[in-house]
Amino acid sequence: MSIIAKDVVKKYKNQYAVNGVSFEINQGEIVGFIGPNGAGKSTMMKIICAYISATSGIVLVNGYDVKTQSIQVRRSIGYLPENNPLYLDMYVKEYLAFVSGIYGLGKTSSKRVNEMIDATGLGNEQHKKIGSLSKGYRQRVGLAQALIHDPKVLILDEPTTGLDPNQIIEIRNLISEVGKSKTVLFSTHIMQEAEAICNRTMIINKGKIIANTGVDDIQHQEQTITVEFNAPIEEAVLLSIPDVIQVKAINHSKWIIYSHNDIRETLFRVAVEHGLAVLGMQQHTKTLEEIFHELTQS
Ligand code: ADP
Ligand code: MG
C-alpha cells in the first residue's frame, strides 16, 4: 500500500478543514482527488506530505508515519504544491540542480537534472529564467522538481489549474506518462480531468470523502434508460427486474427506468416474456460531472 489515511482530522480553531478522512491507495494507482474549493484537498495533501500535521488520525506513506518519520516520508514523495511556488529569478537548470542538492543527490545530481529536463520537455527552456516561462512551462518545472529524487509517490495539487487548454492536455499527458511507474494522487475540481487520466476518483466535500470508487464503477452505479414498448406494460413487472431502483411512466408503454447496472438485455427478455416488442431504448450514463454536482450539492 502506498498511502494509508485513517480517520484524519485537521481542525483550525473551530473549523474542520478535514473531518475524518480515511482511504488507501495502492502502488501504481493514479487517483483523482476531486472537490469544490474549500473541500479540504490541499489540507489533506499537505498532511500526506508531512508539511503540516493533522489534529488526529494516522497517515502512512510507503509504510512511513508522517508524524514520526517525516524525513523518510518527504524522501519518498514528490510534491507539487497548489500555485506551484517557484524561484522566479532562478534559471530552470540551476533551480533543478538546487532542488537536487536539497535532496542530497550528490554525484548523480547533474545526470538526474538532465533526465528530468528531457522527461518534462524542458530542453529548450533549461537556460531561461523561470519567471520568463509561460504557466504551462512553469508547471513542467514544478513536475520536474517533484520528480527529481525519483519518488515512488507523487502528490500534485491542482496541477492544471490556470493553464490554457493546450497546456492542460500537455500536462495531463505528462502525468499519465509519469503515472505508469508511480503512485499519483492529484487534485482537481475539473471532472473531465479525472475521467481522462485516473483509475479512481475520491470525491471530497466539506472535509469528508463522499465517494471513493473507480471511474467506471462510479458511473455504473446509477443508470437511466428510456424504453418504449409496442404496448402497455405493468409498472410492477418493471419494478421486479433485478437492479431496478425506480421507474417513471411517460405513458403506459414508455418508461424511464433507473437502475444500478446495465439492464438492457434483461429488458429485452422481459419484453419477450410478456409478448411485447421493444421499439426503442436509450441509455444515459451519468457523467462524473453530474454525479459530482449531485453529491456536493447539500
Ligand atoms: P481545497 O484545497 O479543497 O480548496 P483547503 O484544504 O485549502 O481546500 O481548505 C479547506 C478548508 O480549511 C477551507 O475552508 C479553508 O478556508 C480552511 N483552511 C485551510 N487552511 C487554513 C489555515 N491555515 N487556517 C485556517 N483555515 C484554513
Ligand atoms: Mg486547494
Q: How would you classify residue 275: left for phi > 0, otherwise alpha for psi between -120 and 50, otherwise beta? A: left
The beta strand positions in the chain, using DSSP E, are: 3-12, 15-25, 30-34, 56-61, 64-65, 77-80, 153-157, 183-188, 200-205, 208-214, 223-229, 244-251, 254-259, 278-285
pLDDT at 64: 97
Please give the pLDDT value at position 219: 55
Give the residue whose CA is nearest to atom 17 of ligand 1.
17
Q: Is the CB of 151 under 6 A from ligand 1?
A: no
Judging by beta carbons within 10 Å of its beta carbon (0-12, 13-18, 19+), is residue 37 exposed, middle or buried? Answer: exposed
Report d(CA 245, CA 261) in Å as an integer: 10
Using the mean position of ligand 2's atoms as its centre, give its distance from the Cα of residue 25 in Å: 20
**Pocket of ligand 1 contains residue 41 by CB under 6 Å:** yes
Across-strand partners of 225? Answer: 257, 283
Cell triple for 279: 421499439
pLDDT by 10s per residue, the chain, length 298: 899 999 999 999 999 999 999 999 999 999 999 988 899 999 999 999 999 999 999 999 999 999 999 999 999 999 999 988 889 999 999 999 999 999 888 888 999 999 999 989 999 999 999 999 999 999 999 999 999 999 999 999 999 988 888 888 888 998 998 888 899 999 988 777 887 888 888 989 999 998 887 655 655 567 889 999 999 999 999 999 998 988 999 999 999 998 888 899 999 999 999 999 999 999 886 666 677 777 777 5
Q: Which atom of ligand 1 is nearest to the CA of 204?
A: 3
Q: Is there an atom of ligand 1 within 6 Å of 38 CB?
A: yes
Residues 6+ apart with CB under 8 A from 153: 2, 3, 61, 62, 76, 77, 78, 182, 183, 184, 185
* Beta-carbon contacts of residue 227 (< 8 Å; ≥ 6 apart): 254, 255, 257, 267, 278, 280, 281, 282
Separation CA 149–CA 180 (nearest Å): 17
19 CB less than 6 Å from ligand 1? Answer: no
Give the global pTM.
0.80
CB atoms within 10 A of CB 273: 9
pLDDT at 211: 80
Which grid cell is 149?
529524487
pLDDT of residue 196: 80
- Ligand closest to 18 (CA) is 1
SS3 of 168, please? helix
Residue of 14, 34, 43 to mutate, ligand 1, most atoms within 8 A of C-beta: 43
- What span, in angstroms and rounded, lies between the C-alpha atoms of 36 and 134? 26
Pocket test of ligand 1: the residue of 10, 12, 185 to mutate, having most ligand atoms within 8 Å of its CB, is 12
Ligand 1 pocket member 17 (CB < 6 A):
yes
